[in-house]
Amino acid sequence: MVTTLNDIETRFDNAGQFIRNLDLSLEQWTPKPGEQQRWLFRGQGKAVWGLTPRAWRPDGQQLLPPAPGWLPGLGNRKTRSPPYSDILTQCARELAGLVEFRDTAGEIGLSLPPEEPTKVLDWTFEYCEVTESSGNPLEMGEPTHLVALAQHHGIPTRVLDWTWKPHYAAFFAAEDSCSWATRDATGTCPDLAVWAIDRFALAGDQDLRIKVLPRAAQSFMHAQDGAFMWDGQAGRHFANHLEWPDFALRILKGENAGNAGAFRKLVLKGSEAPALLDLLQSQRISRVHLMPTLDNVSRVVQRLRRPNQ
């Protein structure tokens, strides 16, 4: 039985060894006869990070629009005071970001999923499962196609990307680690991590859920073999603890995640991130394969011509 995040961590000093340990043919990842794949994977460029959606992190908060001016009149007396007013403010800011994304895309003629509500007010009620009579912003609505599309294009949301392919997760972790080398004053790549969760470990958790959206209109989700994790009771967690949940701690405290290695974290030292990207490129795993756009084709071609940059 594991009790802390340190208990689920395995560290590697070599990119080759790291990638071999993520091979789905290994016994540790192989499903039992007759079962579908059990494991989901998520890559992160900094191993020190937990599993908190970007909309709830400081870097994501900086990118969200301010709360709409009509927000103070929403709901009833209960929702107009903390912590409920804080929950609604966060929901409204996230949704305002989605509205900006949707409307700006529409202005330049890009098509987006048509089924989304047209008013931010309607969205806020649906997103937070708020009704005018109860005004209880504790339940969180399921992620929609627009949330998925915005997430894949850098808009802060309350969902986390996962994939059924561990090497895809490793790519995003290595790429992000290398990008931090140019952003941090140290100029070095931080240690990176690939998280792994046995989806059956979430079977007893009615709040932390996995959502797989139809891929026909989501080219990135299809290319990445992706899924989303979201917390249907994030508002309740905030009301009780005055902070948004870290999914890693939620999983660790679950009934099944601590048993038989059902929740794992593989860490690679940052100096190996460029070598990991090269190994993945040799397997045709790159940004252009996982996020297929012409801009990314150009980016990958230029990197091949300038391997040391």
Angle at 240 between CA 235 and CA 241, to 5 degrees: 95
Q: Indicate whether 22 and 46 sit together in one domain.
A: yes
Residue range 216-236: mean pLDDT, rounded:
82
Q: Indicate whether 70 and 219 sit together in one domain.
A: no
Q: Look at the chain and report how many structural domains it folds into.
A: 2
Segment 61-100, tens digit of pLDDT: 999 998 776 665 555 555 567 888 888 888 888 888 888 8
Q: Indicate whether 66 and 174 sit together in one domain.
A: no
Q: Indicate whether 89 and 214 sit together in one domain.
A: no
Both tokens assigned to 28: 């540790």
Q: Indicate whether 153 and 166 sit together in one domain.
A: no
Domain boundary (157, 184, 207) is at 157
- Sign, Cα dihedral of 185, 288, 96, 130: negative
pLDDT at 133 > cutoff 70: no
Peptide bond into 214 cis (omega under 30): no
**Half-sphere exposure of residue 265: CA atoms within 13 angstroms, side-chain side:** 25
End-to-end Cα, the chain, rounded Å: 44
Domain boundary (132, 157, 182) is at 157
Pairing of strands 39-44, 192-198: antiparallel
Q: Indicate whether 19 and 138 sit together in one domain.
A: no
Burial (CB count <10 Å: 0-12, 13-18, 19+), residue 232: middle
pTM for this prediction: 0.86
pLDDT at 169 > cutoff 90: yes
Confidence grade of residue 110 (pLDDT, cut at 50, 70, 90): confident
Q: Indicate whether 144 and 13 sit together in one domain.
A: no
What does the alpha-carbon distance between residue 121 and residue 130 come to, in Å, rounded to a whole number?
A: 10
In 3-state terms the chain splits into helix, strand, coil percentages (rounded to 5) of 45, 10, 45
| DSSP, residue by residue, 223-253 | HHTEEEEEETTHHHHHHHHSSPPPHHHHHHT
pLDDT for res 114: 61
Q: Indicate whether 72 and 143 sit together in one domain.
A: yes
Q: Indicate whether 284 and 210 sit together in one domain.
A: yes
Domain boundary (157, 177, 211) is at 157
Output DSSP code: residue 35. Answer: P
Q: Indicate whether 117 and 167 sit together in one domain.
A: no
Q: Indicate whether 120 and 88 sit together in one domain.
A: yes
181 Cβ neighbours under 8 A, 6+ residues apart: 187, 188, 189, 190, 270, 273
pLDDT at 39 > cutoff 60: yes
pLDDT for res 132: 46
What does the alpha-carbon distance between residue 218 and residue 216 come to, in Å, rounded to a whole number?
A: 6
Q: Indicate whether 176 and 257 sit together in one domain.
A: yes
What does the alpha-carbon distance between residue 280 and residue 170 come to, in Å, rounded to a whole number?
A: 8
Segment 254-308, tens digit of pLDDT: 755 555 688 999 999 999 999 999 999 999 998 888 888 888 888 767 766 665 5
pLDDT at 156 > cutoff 90: yes
Output DSSP code: residue 165. Answer: -
**Range of the structural domain that residue 258 is part of:** 1-53+159-309
